[in-house]
Amino acid sequence: MKKKMFYPVMIMFILIISLVSCNKDENIYSYEAMVPIYMDFKEFRQPPKVKSARNIQQAGKIYFKDNYIFINEVNEGIHIIDNTNPSYPKKVTFYEITGNVDMAIRGNMLFVDSYIDLIAIDISDIHNPVEVSRIENAFPEVLPLPVDFNLPYAWNKIDRSKGVIVGWEVETLTAEYHHWGGGWPWWRFGATMDFTMEGAGNAAGIAGSMARFMLNNQYLHSIAQPHVLKTIDVSNAANMLQTDSISSWREMETLFRYDGHLFVGTTTGMVIYSLANPSHPQFVSELDHINACDPVVVENDIAYVTLRAGTWCMNTTNQLDVIDISDIESPTLLKSYPMFNPHGLGIDNGILFICDGADGLKVYDATNPLAIQSNMIAHFRGIDTYDVIPLGDILLMIGHDGLFQYDYSDPQNIRLLSHIEVGN
């Protein structure tokens, strides 16, 4: 009899243990996340290196100064191209700069971002650049592009004392779940902050419209993180000094300087600051739009803004907005035009250039802002476009397919002058 009772008791005991284990396991969950890859600070902060000219593999931002074109190789450095003859541009050299995305030039001084640092480089001798100074942690919140936009950052795995974050790898992590969110890791979604500088004045070069740095005489205005606009005095490159920091509830993306004002493209609208005191920009006005990624350019009393879908901004609209800024304190939307997937844009004497993503380069007569779409001058298809720089008669255009140069001295007969391909 005792023997017969032993088995049911054992079975019941095993079931109880199993149930307890299952309940315990229910509080443990697994998830995939991006964990950081570090580079030691000493290795990271080595001076930029000069390498032989090489093929462009992943074209980034573009800059022009004194017949030289500077093209960013994303997170790796800068290609230097002699553009004395736009029909036959020549690759000169390559500056290896870890974590570089953008650049600006004032006189013979090249300012570049290197992940979290800002570096000043003397390029008096284009073949022998010399690091003059750097501001360490100038952009403390900068992170490299995610390996998968659908995965979260494992924010609780980030330890900046280990070095600069130079990349991500995907790991399967476990954590204990508590109701009402306790025990969940804190992460954030979104793209990395990249940096562009907009040249201004006789001593500076010219950048495209995807600018997140803007060089204004002796001051560099920088989107240091999505909600912070910094101003840095770079008149003495050996001793760069921050003069201002402005916080905003908006997520700032691009900068454009025109007629004493700074135009800031944000995910929720265009914001205008006065540069009457360039060391301390002052808010003037703003104009809201739908949640979208947007660069802005300005000519005369009109601002042109492109909004695009298919980005981390999570919008579904692709359009060109035309804004009246004749009353700078009260900008007004004049008209919106549908687009395919617009990125960078440029305006020169009423000629509007739009990089409409995979739908190519589009050129419009914008002298009548209310009839832009019906006044298309040219459409260059079959190229994936990113940003442009109009230079009077020559247009520089960068995209996934490389660097293109066009002669638009006769707007009705725009000609391709040269093309430097991406890849081998």
Rounded Cα–Cα distance for residues 222 and 154 (Å): 27
Q: Stretch 179-203: mean pLDDT, rounded?
A: 33
Q: Stretch 242-252: mean pLDDT, rounded?
A: 92
Q: Worst-scoring range by mean pLDDT, 3-17, 128-142, 274-288, 317-331?
A: 3-17
Rounded Cα–Cα distance for residues 189 and 217 (Å): 35
pLDDT band at residue 25 under the 50/70/90 scheme: low
CA 42, 44, 47, 53 dihedral sign is positive
pLDDT tens-place string over residues 254-268? 899 999 999 999 888
Question: Is 90 exceeded by the pLDDT of residue 132?
Answer: yes
pLDDT tens-place string over residues 387-421? 999 999 999 999 999 999 999 999 999 999 999 99
Which pLDDT belongs to residue 310? 61
Position with higher pLDDT, 98 vs 10: 98
pTM of the model: 0.84
Which pLDDT belongs to residue 316? 66
Question: Is 60 exceeded by the pLDDT of residue 18?
Answer: no
Rounded Cα–Cα distance for residues 344 and 364 (Å): 14
95, 129 contact by CB (below 8 A): yes
Which pLDDT belongs to residue 152? 80
Domains observed in the chain: 29-247 (no CATH), 270-424 (2.120.10.80)
Q: In what order do the strands lie in the sheet with 206-207?
A: 49-52, 90-96, 77-82, 68-73, 59-65, 206-207
